[in-house]
Chain A
């Protein structure tokens, strides 16, 4: 039987077991929406209030599950509004399939109404993209899109579908498998490199495991735990990797990088072996690469060969899936029946303990002002460390990363690479839809929350009981902090004048709003909010105005040059 392009689209989604799609309709996708309407029992469509929100929601859905996020937007402005989200997903390797409507084929290139070359615009920020030009190619293209998005180093794939093609008809069959002559990711580590890595591991006296988001994407948290605990090595996680190794475990030395812990950064700096696992030596981690880990041999495990020796030159590269490589490494270690020098390791831990004694995340909640750190720490306690937490970008993001101790993967959902303000709320929409019964907190700030505030309406429509923790200091705090340190306190445009009344705003959208101004009220407010299982609660915490995130590696400095307070 012949099906229309729009019918094929929906059949493909069903074949890929897509249960949720985030989107916003428009002229070029009317046929597609007409079929989605008929298929609402199988696929639930979530109507966002801005296309950027659709992509972030799909990201939240994907990051908190091991499934691809799926979104659909119309041509022209619908597509361009999605670009920030697509770039965000590209930087953080989030598996997404994004469908964009396109004008009729005979109009392409004619500057038609709501026409934009979205394939051209997104080329540098997608894993791959397609413009479908024949209805006969649609099913196979969609199959390829899902395959590319979810395998190898995951990423966003965009499929641009002209409107007239969605009403053309053809025979439909969904390909069971797809093979592409140009694409064949390496998943198994090379045996010789495994041996080379084990040589270094066994010879190490001051080793550290530096693991990142790749561990979470690979679903390899338990493999990482086994590996690190077998060896007794200290573990640090990147911002993207938080939760990949349990934060409350004694081998965990905290996050590394610009606002990482003193002990993590010092251990990296003094280490003689860095085991980089699914991490990419981002500049926020390395600081000045010339000063980075001067004494260390580096083993780098990554699915993406282009990540290896990109920023920091690597002694032993292992291209492969973390989930496969870690057990292979352990097997080789066990086969040799040797262990690294245990006395050296004990001395190393003693040294680390001295750094830990600096207690670099120490703060005291005194006086009348609420400290942001205190709010995050209380939220961690009251949610029993088991919430899904999304964040936006800035000081609140760093405080969330420092004080919410993630013991499980896929719980910390933030925009690491692109650093997209406005990510947190729509991402939380996606997380809550994927986990309807879970506590989903969005730790945000008065600047970021306003960038996608319109999604409060989405939350109302779908009754999503998010817990929004707005750390409101009346500033674009991170910008202000840099201006304080490096621009002689000239606070250019970092003051958020004319803030709305967030309580009234929340109420206007049909939610519960709370304003918390006293430290003594923080705990009670959080408990009350978390007890409201069926309502979105917007908690506006009025926090210390000029608080700073410490510790900090100033730009251009080395990891051993942290400012502690």
Chain B
């Protein structure tokens, strides 16, 4: 099962390495990982997508909580939440028709063209993992030159803060 964990931790050098090291040392998988400071500059939020059965996820949560730099760990899947990922993709159009196709598909996915260089389009799309995968699939007919994805970030719905 796919789980998105939201980890609030001390904004200190080494904290990220402790989290990442824990996953590699204990053989847990990391599908994506995203980290940045929060509105409180002493804290960072790390959003991490992993896979595992209930027992593994429970153990991951416990091991994370044991790290001295970790303030709070939340499995976003346990709550109604919003999850987004940012995709930047560079696509080369072969002719005028494919230029049209690229911008049309991009519109359908509410993507935005953020750069054009000759016939190379750089497009920004946000959404859930499925949507971004579907977008990339739809673009496969064109020459996809490069993909950069942020990994998921997420937040609980409603007024409560995590």
- A-side interface residues toward B, CB under 8 Å? 119-120, 123-124, 127-128, 131, 148, 180-183, 304-306, 308-310, 313
Contact = CB atoms under 8 A, between A and B. Distances in A.
Contacts of A123: 14, 17-18, 21
Contact of B25 (A119, A124, A180, A182): A124
Interface string B6-26: 000110001001100110010
B69 interface: yes
A310 B59 contact: yes
Contacts of A306: 59, 62-63, 65-66
Given A182-B71, A305-B65, A306-B59, 10 more contacts: A119-B14, A120-B17, A123-B14, A180-B68, A305-B62, A306-B62, A306-B63, A306-B65, A308-B62, A309-B55
A108 to B, nearest CB: 11
B100 interface: no
Closest 7 A/B residue pairs (Cβ): A306-B62, A128-B68, A124-B25, A182-B71, A305-B62, A306-B66, A306-B63
A314 B65 CA distance: 19
Interface in B37-92: 55, 58-59, 62-63, 65-66, 68-71
A181 B63 contact: no
Contacts of B70: 182
B69 A182 contact: yes
24 contacts: A123-B17, A123-B18, A124-B21, A124-B22, A124-B25, A128-B68, A131-B14, A180-B68, A181-B71, A182-B9, A182-B10, A182-B69, A182-B70, A182-B71, A183-B68, A304-B66, A305-B65, A305-B66, A306-B59, A306-B62, A306-B65, A309-B58, A310-B59, A313-B55
Given A123-B17, A124-B21, A182 B68 contact: yes
A206 B97 CA distance: 79
B66 to A, nearest CB: 5
A180 B42 CA distance: 13
Nearest to A148: B68
A123 B24 CA distance: 12
Nearest to A183: B68
B115 to A, nearest CB: 35
Contacts of B69: 182
The range of chain B's interface size is 10 to 19
Interface centre among B14, B25, B55, B71 (most CB of A within 10 A): B14
Contacts of A148: 68
- Chain A contact surface mostly: mixed
B122 to A, nearest CB: 35
A182 B44 CA distance: 13
Nearest to A127: B68
Contacts of A128: 68
Contacts of A181: 71
A540 B71 CA distance: 53
A310 B26 CA distance: 12
A372 to B, nearest CB: 36
A309 B22 CA distance: 18
Contacts of B65: 305-306
Nearest to A120: B17
B50 to A, nearest CB: 16
Contacts of B62: 305-306, 308
Nearest to B13: A131
Contacts of A183: 68
Contacts of A309: 55, 58-59
Contacts of A182: 9-10, 68-71
Which of B62, B63, B69 has the most chain A CB atoms closer than 10 A to its own CB?
Answer: B62
A298 B22 CA distance: 28
Contacts of B71: 181-182
B74 to A, nearest CB: 15
A128 B70 CA distance: 12
Contacts of B66: 304-306
Contacts of A180: 68
A494 B68 CA distance: 42
Nearest to A124: B25
B138 to A, nearest CB: 43
B67 to A, nearest CB: 8
Nearest to B14: A119
A180 B21 CA distance: 22
The residue among A123, A180, A309 with the most chain B CB atoms within 10 A of its own CB is: A123
A306 B56 CA distance: 11
A119 B21 CA distance: 13
A367 to B, nearest CB: 49
Contacts of A119: 14
Contacts of A131: 14
